[in-house]
A = this chain, B = another copy of it.
Amino acid sequence: MSENKIPYKIYLEESEMPKAWYNVRADMKNKPAPLLNPGTLQPMTAQELGAVFCDELVQQELDTENAYIPIPQEILDFYKMYRPSPLVRAYCLEEKLQTPAKIYYKFEGNNTSGSHKLNSAIAQAYYAKNQGLKGVTTETGAGQWGTALSMACAYLGLDCKVYMVKCSYEQKPFRREVMRTYGASVTPSPSMTTEVGRKILEQHPGTTGSLGCAISEAVEAATSTPGYRYVLGSVLNQVLLHQSIIGMESKAAMDKYGIVPDVIIGCAGGGSNLGGLISPFMGEMLRGERNYRFIAVEPASCPSLTRGKFVYDFCDTGMVTPLAKMYTLGSNFIPSASHAGGLRYHGMSPVVSQLYHDGYIEATSVEQTSVFAAAEQFARVEGILPAPESSHAIKVAIDEALKCKETGEEKTILFGLTGTGYFDMYAYEKFNNGDMGDYIPTDEDIMAGLKGIPQFPGNEI
């Protein structure tokens, strides 16, 4: 089909929708390293993981062989409610930039949870239900993941207990109320409902909580309540597997119109969106079929790929989880509270980390005022108010398009637009008022974080 027939938005027909997730680990020569039990430093067994996660999800977490995992019909049915997500040709942005580049974005914000998180939330909730469980627990900071999980659980009639960092619970009441509207119980963390919560409150009566503490409470609530398991919204291999739906739809839509991207760009916090978006394209590259440039964009305030170390570290600041081999800034690295967006995670998905380590992915970091400027520019012409997280990818897509303007190259750029910024208006207000700054950790800040990484033979930083 000729280039000039490409519509603004490409939607797949229901019959063209992917019926399986793609597991990029099957095509990786260097597999991501296994999770380790922090006590024994031995790989976590399925049985150990099964105390915390659903059985089927444990299998997916450990599966490095099967390239395609069929999507259960019930999940396909749920996906139909909000998928396919549109693949949009950014004609208006191209015109505004006066670039010869062709820019596409895959927009995942067209569902009530407002982000791509729902793709994995429904899968994790489904397997929990299928195992006959009563409910799931999780933690949430700003609330995108908690919102997505609440929606999925409401749909399946599953209990959903969300531990929400207390300061977010109080300062961000809107996402809290979305979760409650979907029937979730939302508890400000630390709380009196868990042993670890009571202990923390005793030691620090006035604390407003942290993500690490909320994770600890959610894990305790899951493992101490019969019929419950814990679920997580990023980082894990299973989450990247579910998020491959983003890339598979993108690839199917592009294939339909004979479009081949030169550059694929995603924002990277824990890596779920980036990993999902690039998966099927990366598979082609790993199998030697085609070459692409992949760019991971992280905030300069929390630069795990560009300034972290590729070692084993805890997944949480409370150090109760298994150890994962990943690019990390240290589990007690705390990015500046003044950073407005998400992407504040200290580590990075082991799959993304391994691919970056092996040279398949580039990484770059950007400062938040430039990110909000890109977000505003994008919003005014493309009509979508992007989430700050997503806007990291917008910023670099615009930069790449402007390079094409200089060189005259007609490159095709694909980026992931993970969600909407409706609940981030305080940050936009700061930017609108000129009150937003940039916060780049010093080398001393980085070193202080890295020192918290567990030291054992072979894991020296």
Contact = CB atoms under 8 A, between A and B. Distances in A.
A422 B379 contact: no
- The 9 A-B pairs with the shortest beta carbon distances in the complex, nearest first, are A174-B425, A154-B380, A8-B80, A422-B422, A112-B385, A177-B425, A177-B429, A180-B432, A7-B14
A7 B11 CA distance: 13
Interface in A164-181: 173-174, 177-178, 180-181
A7 B14 CA distance: 7
Interface of A: 7-9, 11, 13-14, 80-82, 92, 110-112, 114, 118, 151, 154-155, 173-174, 177-178, 180-183, 376, 379-385, 420, 422-423, 425, 428-429, 431-432
A383 B92 contact: no
Contact of A92 (B155, B382, B384): B155
11 contacts: A11-B11, A81-B92, A112-B383, A151-B383, A173-B425, A177-B425, A177-B429, A177-B432, A178-B425, A181-B376, A181-B379
Given A110-B110, A422-B423, 4 more contacts: A81-B92, A155-B381, A178-B428, A182-B379
Contact of A380 (B174, B183, B429): B183
Contacts of A376: 181
A423 B421 CA distance: 12
Contacts of A181: 376, 379, 385, 428, 431-432
Q: How many copies does the complex hold?
A: 2
A102 B440 CA distance: 55
Given A180-B432, A428-B177, A379 B112 contact: yes
Given A92-B81, A112-B385, A379-B182, A173 B420 contact: no
A82 B382 CA distance: 9
Nearest to A90: B81
Contacts of A382: 81
Nearest to A182: B380
Contacts of A423: 422
Given A8-B14, A423-B422, A383 B183 contact: no
A92 B74 CA distance: 12
A302 B220 CA distance: 50
A398 to B, nearest CB: 17
A178 B81 contact: no
A180 B114 CA distance: 21
Contacts of A92: 81, 155
A19 to B, nearest CB: 15
A178 B386 CA distance: 11
A422 B114 CA distance: 10
A376 B422 CA distance: 20
A382 B422 CA distance: 20
A381 B122 CA distance: 13
A307 B397 CA distance: 55
